[in-house]
Each structure stands twice: as structure tokens, then as C-alpha cells.
Amino acid sequence: MSDLIQLPINVTELKVKFQVQNDEMEDLSILNINDQLRILKDHVLEIIKNTNQFATHLAKGDSERQKLKNEIISNVEKIHDNYEPHIPRHYTPFTEEKLSVKGILTPFLGESPICAKDIPKMEEWTKFSGEGEYNHIEFIRTIDMLQEDFHIPEEIIVGKLHSLFTRTAKKWYYKMRIDHGKHD
């Protein structure tokens, strides 16, 4: 122990060394903080730059979407304006004026009388009694065939149902008319 005490220790010298080391550490800390701030500032600037680029890109996308939307609307309007339903030349849309009291239908405007003449007479149409297991199948097939082959509007066929129904089917038909507010 006595050896330790005899060592020359200069407290002032020790303080100076500590102070120098401490100053260097502080200098390093200050430099380190400044470097970190500079790096942080660079990152913030890069984030701002990327945000601005994204905003520009987003605005371009919005602009392109709006152009596409307007183009689609324009095309839909053009299609709507130019739309004409396909109606065969020999057929014009049905109106009640075109019904014939004498026959099934009168020739439509521009239609040759041959078409109306070619339609089978009511006596030749299949009747529907509402009785029997498969009676309705032949009736439905006949009506569908007449509609397809002779372009007979549904309104005319519905108007002729009272002549096509017999027995049970006719009773049911008249009951349905009364139930739906139509009286004979």
C-alpha cells in the first residue's frame, strides 16, 4: 500500500486530461448530432420530393380517369342516340289500330296482304280444353310456331284466347278476366 501512496499523482494534470477527453467527446457528439440532422434533413427532402412526385402522378391518373369516364359517357350517348331496334322490313310495331275485327290481323303498312292471308284460320288453330295430361303441350307449341312463322304479336293471340279455349280452360279464362277487373 505504501507503494501506491508514493506514486506521484498530479491531480491538475488528471483534470486537464479528463477535460480534453471530455471536450473531444463533446466535439464528437456535436459533430454526430449535426451529421444526424443533416441526414435527417436529406431524408425529409427526399420524402417531400417523393410526395410531390406521387401527387403529380395521382393528378395525372385522375385526369386520365376523367377523360376515360367522359369518353365512355360520350360513347354510351352515341349508342343510345343511334339505337334503332331491329324490326324486320315486313313488320311494323304493333298498335291496336292494326287489329282486324274480321280476320286475325290486317296487313300492316308496307306489308303485303299475302302475309295476313297465309296465316291459318282460327278453326285450324289447336284448341285447349284444360283437360287431359298433355293437352297444353300441343297448344303451346302451336302458339309458339304461329308467333315465330307469321310474326303474330302476342296481343293478337291473347285477344283470340277466348276462341282457342274450350270447356274447363274457357271457364278458367273467364274467371281470370273477372278476377283482374275485365268483364265480358
pLDDT digits (tens, 9 = 90+) for 84-140: 655 555 555 554 444 444 444 444 444 444 356 677 777 777 777 777 766 678 778
The three-class DSSP label of residue 99 is strand
- What's the count of helices (H) and strands (E) in the chain, helices before strands? 7, 0
Better-predicted residue by pLDDT, 41 or 107: 41
Angstrom CA distances, 79 to 72, 76, 85, 87, 154, stand at 10, 5, 12, 17, 29
Give pLDDT, residue 65.
92
* Cα dihedral 146/149/151/156 (nearest 10): -10
Domain ranges of the chain: 2-82, 96-179
Is 101:156 a contact under the CB 8 Å cutoff? no
Enter the C-alpha cell of residue 157: 293471340
Q: State how far the Cα of 148 lies from the Cα of 141, in Å rounded to an integer.
A: 11
CA distance 177 to 181: 6
Determine the Cα–Cα distance for residues 131 and 133; give it in Å rounded to an integer.
7
What is the per-residue pLDDT for 85?
57
- Cβ neighbours of residue 32 closer than 8 Å, sequence gap 6 or more: none
The fraction of the chain above a pLDDT of 90, given in percent, is 11
- Residue % of the chain over a pLDDT of 70: 59
Give me 4's grid cell. Answer: 501506491
pLDDT at 177 over 70: yes
Residue 51, pLDDT above cutoff 50 = yes
Euclidean distance between CA atoms 88 and 162, whole angstroms: 29
If phi over 0 gives left and psi between -120 and 50 gives alpha, with beta otherwise, what is residue 119?
beta
Q: What is the pLDDT of residue 48?
A: 93
Q: Assign 18 a pLDDT band (cuts: 50, 70, 90).
A: low
What confidence score (pLDDT) does residue 22 get?
60
At residue 126, the pLDDT reads 75
**Tens of pLDDT along 54-91?**
999 899 999 999 999 988 888 877 776 666 655 555 55
